[in-house]
Amino acid sequence: MSQVFTGKNAIVTGGAGVIGMATAQRLVAGGARVALVDRDSDRLNANAAALDAGAAVAIVADVTKQAEVAAYAERAQRELGPIDIFFNNAGVEGPTALLDDYAEEDFEQVQAINVTGVFHGLKQVMPRMRDGGAIVITSSTAGLRGSPGFAGYTMSKHAVIGLMRTAAIEGAPRRIRVNCVHPAMVNSDMMQRIERDRGDPAAMHEKFLSRIPLGRYIEPDEVAALVCFLVSDDARMITGGQYLIDGGIML
């Protein structure tokens, strides 16, 4: 990859996960320095160690807690410098359950991570960004339609679209761009958990594949490629947008 991000500093939340890591790898390959943020310290530190020496810092934080978000934003700015790129990506799927069986505490936890965590990130990171920076928020195809069995996740991914639109308007005077990506099924631990939760994993895998016109799950690096385009200067007039990466599932 050409050094399109040389001199730029990035924060990636959900840095212990496969999409966060794939995006960090692309950013670092492009010359950026990256602060990886997650609450899973073991996987987070392993991911940071796998990146080029000196290119990444691991910051353990719970995105549901405003004080910890403020701390990760402050530390990233202190160690890297002003922030140019923010991949506001941390999220969980929550349980698989129909509405009448969906526990209130599970619903609230999903909102706390997927919505409040995104809000805290925008609130704390945007003021620390250089003018002309870029933010991408991870939503989902579940943010664009109903998903039976996933009330908490579906609501949360609809909600972050509203946050994205508001942040895009508020960031425009400083040329800070904000967009959403909407992945469908990604080859990840999350999809493996969903397949197990819904019954026989092999049968569920085939059922999900049958819904994808292009015939396979999305690879994390394919999501990362879209994210890195949106935060690059090639996308300098793109803001307030929503970008599917779904293999045609929304057709």
DSSP annotation string for 98-124 = -GGG--HHHHHHHHIIIIIHHHHHHHH
CA 133 from centroid of its chain's CA atoms: 17
| Distance of alpha carbon 106 from alpha carbon 95, whole angstroms | 7
pLDDT at residue 65, rounded to an integer: 98
Residue keyed to tokens 């339609």: 145
* Cβ neighbour number for residue 33 with a 10 Å cutoff: 23
Residue 27 near residue 52 (C-beta atoms within 8 A): no
How far apart CA 151 and CA 165 sit, in angstroms, is: 22
Question: Looking at the predicted structure, is the pLDDT value of residue 152 above 80?
Answer: yes
Q: Would you identify the CATH topology of the domain 9-186+219-245?
A: Rossmann fold (3.40.50)
Are the C-beta atoms of 89 and 14 separated by less than 8 Å? yes
List the chain domain ranges.
9-186+219-245
| Model confidence pLDDT, tens digit, residues 209-249 | 889 999 999 999 999 999 999 999 999 999 999 999 999 99
- Residues identified as active-site: 153
Query: How many Å apart are CA 155 and CA 161, to the nearest integer?
Result: 10
Q: What is the mean pLDDT of residues 103-108?
A: 97
Q: Is the pLDDT of residue 162 over 80?
A: yes
Q: Which residue type does 193 have?
A: R
- Mean pLDDT score across all residues of the chain: 95
Does residue 16 register a pLDDT over 70? yes
Q: How far apart are CA 81 and CA 237, in angstroms?
A: 24
197, pLDDT greater than 80: no
Full-model pTM? 0.95
Is the pLDDT score of 202 beyond 90? no
Task: Specify the 3-state DSSP secondary structure of 214.
Answer: coil
pLDDT reading at 198 higher than 80: no
**Residue 1: pLDDT over 70:** no
pLDDT at residue 189 in the model: 81
